[in-house]
Structure 1
């Protein structure tokens, strides 16, 4: 899940059987050659947001890629990419491609978004910034499961299951979702939405742009895509920065369950903040009391939803999403305060209920379910939920709960991409110590898998996202120096707060 999508929430997986390895995921095939003609750059669609503070022009173009890389001359789909071109040819190094996370989040506006948030001019001088909607997303041959506003399935993280019966009920919802996705897949596109294919798309885009190599910045799920990309195409990836780490090239059941660990490690930061402001919000005078307030509120809403329909599951989801950035702490404190004092006027349901996004949810499901085999047995999830409810009481019974991947129509076409530790030392990993969705454990896992190819920068910070958005001077300087000058830290680094 991207940071921007989680911020909007205050309001992300199976199949058992033989994997047919037709195309080796680790090889990726030969790098795509240079395109005969470059993309035709024009004005972007009106829904591509360019903040008014961004003075650099943003253009868009389409790049054709095979729907099925096993049949490269067969059906083609179009991917839309965006560009903020370097205005300093004497300093230009090449292209820097972006992925903001998801999977399923639009990325056409990512370059302009980061420029508006303070992406250093050294980076904008050195690179053409390339955003994109990955296959299936937005303007890139979009897909749909047909989700509607009143669907019981409303988020890419399953709802918290307060008891065993809730897991069984969620299994029925998950099975219905999987069946509807299959029924709506009339063009047969869903099976081709995988991280491996998205990585192949990146190399096709590189070739279409006429570049021998391409650099990459990916955050959240973008870290998994970037890890797959540089593993499959080590010869054509240049400088790679991975931020807020999933832990591998895909999200699997273990990765999803780590969300609960992340919340256990990150909620104390909010609790300490709220305890210092007890006189204003009344959530507890100590962090321990604030934690108890959370559990009390969640359990009360499990038993009796609020007048506006808010349930314990949604309350937990809102709290989880609000931990993505400390800037959201005041809003979160007010939400808690409102439901802690039910005599006050309740918030309108539209302000707290999740807003389903059909396309984003569809792509999330397709990629996560297609990438790796998920347990099919409902009892596996029942045991996991019971275990994680005790291990991680804040959120464990949500992230361990069953998803539509348990009933997905398609088996993975190939094994997940294996991290390739043979290649240039070109992977810089950025990770906050406290991150609700991609905890530090994920950063350490990926660092170990890349071995000598990578360096890990651990930031003594809280939230989801380090580079530019995280506000840490040390991490900003290290990543910028690497992107601009190629200066990779000699070893793993730790950045203090500030």
Structure 2
């Protein structure tokens, strides 16, 4: 499924994350009997983007699972019933990516693209995670300049790679979340999301769940399967993040963020091959080898001499905007022409019309959810010197991302203490997981997926797809990979061993 305008607008918050809740050894049996027995109040979904007969409801969950008798919030869910009740197996939950980058409407449209045999086997259930969309939405009230993709993704603030502007932005943005985000901002994280998923399962009256989680949803799915292993039926983890990425002393989110270094490098050769092909109207160089030095020279020039770009945010085309635009294009090869057009214009000292900005409320909500999810897990470094050292090393080794994946986000100044250590994914549990992974993914590189595959051991089988872009199943994968996933969801037949799909 190709990206919607909403999803493209929120590529700035596509990524990874972490969590909180009841003891990490808790199982689904912790859901009270009264909750399991309480029927949901289903009603026709209000608003656009829903199919005929689609139903919506709200599942009440604790704001803070450490205080299960305290204040509750509502998590919005929607259901599309099985198209063939006689063969219905159960519920397939679509776990959205982001965090903060999807909606109930978007996930509903995605559910309707599933193959017929999957639509017959399951009631398709989608949800807005806590804080997002219709589920007690939050906002930090960021300044307009902080809504730019090059602000949330912390591209170094100057041509020399200085992190000083990023540290200042972290203080400003974290302060906005503390002032305006409300109490829920303290309780948005992956473990809380996992417990919400189990509350959804219980409210649906299901003993087990099947699920399809993409990108951040793959991480949330892995955490759910670790906390509630015997509540998992058929789990598909798509565009996988290294859930145990702890190169930064247990700071999982930083390790996942760092994946952009490798991911962009994995995709760039495909872009260079396309951008140097004879007959391409957007050809950038005579050879694939010539595309990289051309791009790096242009980005460096724009660092020194940005081009005014009225109506854009920021209002100039600088080196970081160019780098971010290339990264965005790598999520889907259909974005390659737009990136090439921007490069060609910049080489002439011009700019195309400014891109249409998404609704501010949408950005504010998505970035607030992403911020809380990133920052509420683990103790983030606060030292500018540490960030500067890592940025300098990254810029030298991975010039395409110019140090961004190692730089200070607003988490460097986050006002709330961490609640717990990240959940460590292990090989303990039933063998119910099928991983599907594109070989070249800018946000979820294959190297990270292989780490998760190794951690899961006998619990998983992985299908690696010879494709480029983010989202494999029904997205940027191929027919071989799609067939393997559909077969598993519909029949339970999983490849006997790890498989490569050309």
Same fold (TM over 0.5): yes
Please give the alpha-carbon distance, in whole angstroms, between the structure 2 residues aligned to 1:406 and 1:304: 29
Structure 2 equivalent of residue 290 of structure 1: 291
1:206-285 paired onto structure 2 within 5 Å: 206-248=201-243, 251-277=252-278, 280-285=281-286
Structure 2 equivalent of residue 72 of structure 1: 68
Please give the alpha-carbon distance, in whole angstroms, between the structure 1 residues aligned to 2:21 and 2:88: 39
Of 192-201 and 327-336, deviating more is 327-336
Question: Contact 2:49–2:106 at 8 Å: present in 1 too?
Answer: no
Please give the alpha-carbon distance, in whole angstroms, between the structure 2 residues aligned to 1:260 and 1:74: 42
Please give the alpha-carbon distance, in whole angstroms, between the structure 1 residues aligned to 2:302 and 2:10: 19
Please give the alpha-carbon distance, in whole angstroms, between the structure 2 residues aligned to 1:405 and 1:163: 23
Q: Does 1:348 align with 2:343?
A: no
User: Larger relative CO (CA 8 A, sep 6+): 1 or 2?
Assistant: 1
Question: Contact 1:10–1:318 at 8 Å: present in 2 too?
Answer: no
Q: SS at 1:280's partner residue?
A: coil
Q: 1:487 to 1:279 in 2, by over 3 A?
A: closer
TM-score, structure 1 as length reference:
0.90
Please give the alpha-carbon distance, in whole angstroms, between the structure 2 residues aligned to 1:384 and 1:268: 25
Q: 1:396 to 1:246 in 2, by over 3 A?
A: farther
Structure 1 equivalent of residue 49 of structure 2: 49
Structure 1 equivalent of residue 80 of structure 2: 84
Unaligned runs of 5+ in 2: 246-251, 310-315
Q: What CA deviation, in whole Å up to 9, does each residue of 1:76-127 have, x standing for no partner?
A: 10010111111211111111111221111234134432245x4211111011
Structure 2 equivalent of residue 159 of structure 1: 155
Structure 1 equivalent of residue 38 of structure 2: 37
Structure 1 equivalent of residue 199 of structure 2: 204
Question: Contact 1:153–1:177 at 8 Å: present in 2 too?
Answer: no
1:323-402 paired onto structure 2 within 5 Å: 323-342=330-349, 346-351=351-356, 357-402=363-408
1:12-23 paired onto structure 2 within 5 Å: 12=13, 23=22
1:423-434 paired onto structure 2 within 5 Å: 423-434=429-440
Structure 1 equivalent of residue 248 of structure 2: none
Structure 2 equivalent of residue 17 of structure 1: none
Unaligned runs of 5+ in 1: 14-19
Question: Contact 2:264–2:401 at 8 Å: present in 1 too?
Answer: yes
Question: Contact 1:135–1:142 at 8 Å: present in 2 too?
Answer: yes
CA RMSD of aligned residues (A): 2.5
Aligned residues: 480
Q: What CA deviation, in whole Å up to 9, does each residue of 1:152-190 have, x standing for no partner?
A: 76454212455556311111111111111111134x111
Cα drift, residue 145 of structure 1: 0.7
Q: Does 1:322 align with 2:329?
A: yes
Q: What CA deviation, in whole Å up to 9, does each residue of 1:439-476 have, x standing for no partner?
A: 00111011111111011111111100110112411111
Q: SS at 1:428's partner residue?
A: strand
Question: Contact 1:217–1:241 at 8 Å: present in 2 too?
Answer: yes
Cα drift, residue 289 of structure 1: 1.2
Cα drift, residue 307 of structure 1: 2.4
Cα drift, residue 291 of structure 1: 1.5
Please give the alpha-carbon distance, in whole angstroms, between the structure 1 residues aligned to 2:445 and 2:213: 16
Question: Contact 1:457–1:475 at 8 Å: present in 2 too?
Answer: yes
Q: 1:398 to 1:45 in 2, by over 3 A?
A: farther
Please give the alpha-carbon distance, in whole angstroms, between the structure 1 residues aligned to 2:155 and 2:358: 13
Q: 1:403 to 1:21 in 2, by over 3 A?
A: closer
Please give the alpha-carbon distance, in whole angstroms, between the structure 1 residues aligned to 2:334 and 2:364: 28
